[in-house]
C-alpha cells in the first residue's frame, strides 16, 4: 500500500476509541516508543514514553506527529516500575537532559519483569536488496505455533507488518527471581530454537533488556493492523485481513484483548508449562 494512502487511514484509525483502549491495556506497565520505518526520512526515534491514560496516549500520538510521519508504535518487552520520568518531545533537548541520560543508563533499575518475544520476519536482506518470502515465514510460524501448543504455552500471536509475525509469552507466566539469569537463559533459548528447528526467518539477535516490539492494535507503516490473531484467523490468514478497511468492517475491537492461548489450564499450570519449555531448550 502506498504510504500516502496509509497516512490517510492513520488519522481515522488512531481516532477510533476502542483501538486506543486496547493499546492502553497493553502499555499500562510498559514503555511506549515511536520509531521511523526502515529506510524513511526524517529518521526519528522517540523512546521512554509512558501513557497512564487516554489523554496522555493521545498527546503522544499528536506531539510525535505520528499521523504525518512514517512512525511505527512499539512497547517494551520488559514490564517497568512506574512512574517513569517525563521527557521532552524535542529529540535534541532530550539528549542534553540529565534525567534522560540517567534513565537511559540505568534502564535496568526500572525493569520489573520480562516477557519472551519471538520475531519472525519474512523480509530478508540479500546483498543490497530486501527479498520477501512470506510463505516461508508463515510456515515457520505455523511450525513453531504447533510446538508451543504441544507444550500448552500461553502465547499470543500478532502480525508485525504485512511481512512478519511476533509471538509473545507474557511475563505473568514466567517465574524468575534473577533478571540477569532470565536474560541469559532467553538468549540460549532463542538460539537453541533457531538451531534445533532450523528456523531461518526467526530473528535470533541478542535478547536485550531494552528491547522493544510492535504494539498490538497499532498500525504498521505499511498499513497492516497489528491485530492479535485467533487460531482460526491464523489458519486462514490472508494479508487483506490486516487492512483497516477489513478490520473495521469485520472485527469487533472493543474488549477483544490479546487472544492468549490458555489451553484449558489454570495460571499455575501455565507457569509450569513455560518453565518446562525453557528448561528443555536450555539444558
Q: What is the pLDDT of residues 153-187, one digit of tens each?
A: 999 999 999 999 999 999 999 999 999 999 999 99
Contacts 24+ apart (CB under 8 A), 246-249: 248/16
Helices (H), 207-260: 231-235, 244-250
- What is the CATH number for 243? 3.90.920.10
* Three-state SS at 78: strand
Least Cα distance to 275 among 185, 158, 208 occurs for 185
| pLDDT reading at 6 higher than 90 | no
Integer Cα distance of 204 and 192 in angstroms: 9
Give the residue, 227 or 205, on which the prediction is more confident. Answer: 227
Integer Cα distance of 222 and 71 in angstroms: 10
Domain extent, residue 172, equals 3-280
| pLDDT reading at 105 higher than 70 | yes
For residue 49, CA distances in Å to 84, 86, 87 come to 8, 7, 8
Mean pLDDT of 120-149: 90
Per-residue pLDDT, 1:
64
Mean pLDDT of 32-60: 91
DSSP string, 188-206: HHHHHHHHHHT-SSB--SP
DSSP label at residue 242: G
User: Which is it for the CA torsion 200, 202, 203, 209, positive or negative?
Assistant: negative
DSSP label at residue 225: B
Phi/psi of residue 96, each to 5°? -95, -5
DSSP string, 105-124: HTGGGGEEEE-EEEEEESEE
Per-residue pLDDT, 43:
86
| Cβ atoms of 242 and 225 closer than 8 Å | yes
Where do we find the cell 507488518? 161
Q: What is the pLDDT of residues 214-270, one digit of tens each?
A: 999 999 999 999 999 999 999 999 999 999 999 999 999 999 999 999 999 999 999
DSSP string, 149-192: HHTT--EEEEEEETTEEEEEE-GGG---S-HHHHHHHHHHHHHH
Q: 206 pLDDT band (50/70/90 cuts)?
A: confident
Write down the mean pLDDT value for the chain.
94
Integer Cα distance of 51 and 84 in angstroms: 10
* Three-state SS at 27: helix
What is the chain's alpha carbon radius of gyration, rounded to the nearest angstrom?
19
- Return the number of other C-beta atoms located less than 10 Å from residue 149's C-beta: 13
| Cβ atoms of 282 and 189 closer than 8 Å | yes
Q: 129 pLDDT band (50/70/90 cuts)?
A: confident
Domain count, the chain: 1
Per-residue pLDDT, 68:
81
Say what the pTM is. Answer: 0.95
β-partners of residue 80 are: 111
Integer Cα distance of 134 and 160 in angstroms: 12
Q: 133 pLDDT band (50/70/90 cuts)?
A: very high
Lowest mean pLDDT among 67-71, 201-205, 267-271: 67-71
Amino acid at each position: 500500500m502506498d504510504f500516502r494512502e496509509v497516512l490517510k487511514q492513520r488519522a481515522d484509525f488512531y481516532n477510533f476509541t476502542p483501538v486506543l483502549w486496547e493499546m492502553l491495556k497493553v502499555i499500562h506497565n510498559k514503555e511506549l516508543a515511536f520509531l521511523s520505518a526502515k529506510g524513511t526520512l526524517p529518521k526519528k526515534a522517540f523512546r521512554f514514553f509512558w501513557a497512564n491514560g487516554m489523554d496522555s496516549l493521545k498527546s503522544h500520538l499528536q506531539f510525535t506527529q505520528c499521523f504525518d510521519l512514517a512512525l511505527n508504535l512499539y512497547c517494551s518487552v520488559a514490564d517497568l516500575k512506574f512512574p517513569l520520568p517525563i521527557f521532552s518531545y524535542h529529540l535534541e533537548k532530550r539528549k542534553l537532559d540529565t534525567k534522560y541520560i540517567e534513565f537511559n543508563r540505568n534502564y535496568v533499575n526500572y525493569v520489573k519483569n520480562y516477557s519472551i518475544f519471538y520475531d519472525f520476519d519474512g523480509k530478508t536482506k540479500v546483498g543490497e536488496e530486501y527479498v520477501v518470502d512470506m510463505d516461508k515465514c508463515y510456515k515457520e510460524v505455523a511450525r513453531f505455533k504447533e510446538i508451543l501448543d504441544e507444550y500448552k504455552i500461553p502465547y499470543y500471536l500478532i502480525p508485525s507488518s504485512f511481512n512478519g509475525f511476533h509471538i509473545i509469552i507474557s511475563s505473568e507466566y514466567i517465574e524468575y527471581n534473577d533478571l540477569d539469569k532470565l536474560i541469559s537463559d532467553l538468549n540460549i533459548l532463542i538460539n537453541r530454537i533457531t538451531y534445533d528447528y532450523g528456523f531461518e526467518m526467526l530473528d535470533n539477535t541478542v535478547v536485550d533488556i531494552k528491547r522493544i516490539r510492535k504494539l498490538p492494535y497499532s498500525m504498521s507503516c505499511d498499513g497492516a493492523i497489528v491485530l492479535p490473531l485467533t487460531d482460526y484467523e491464523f489458519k486462514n490468514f490472508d494479508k487483506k485481513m490486516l487492512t483497516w478497511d477489513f478490520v473495521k468492517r469485520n472485527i469487533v475491537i472493543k474488549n477483544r484483548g490479546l487472544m492468549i492461548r490458555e489451553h484449558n489450564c489454570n495460571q499455575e499450570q501455565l507457569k509450569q508449562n513455560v518453565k518446562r519449555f525453557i528448561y528443555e531448550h536450555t539444558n
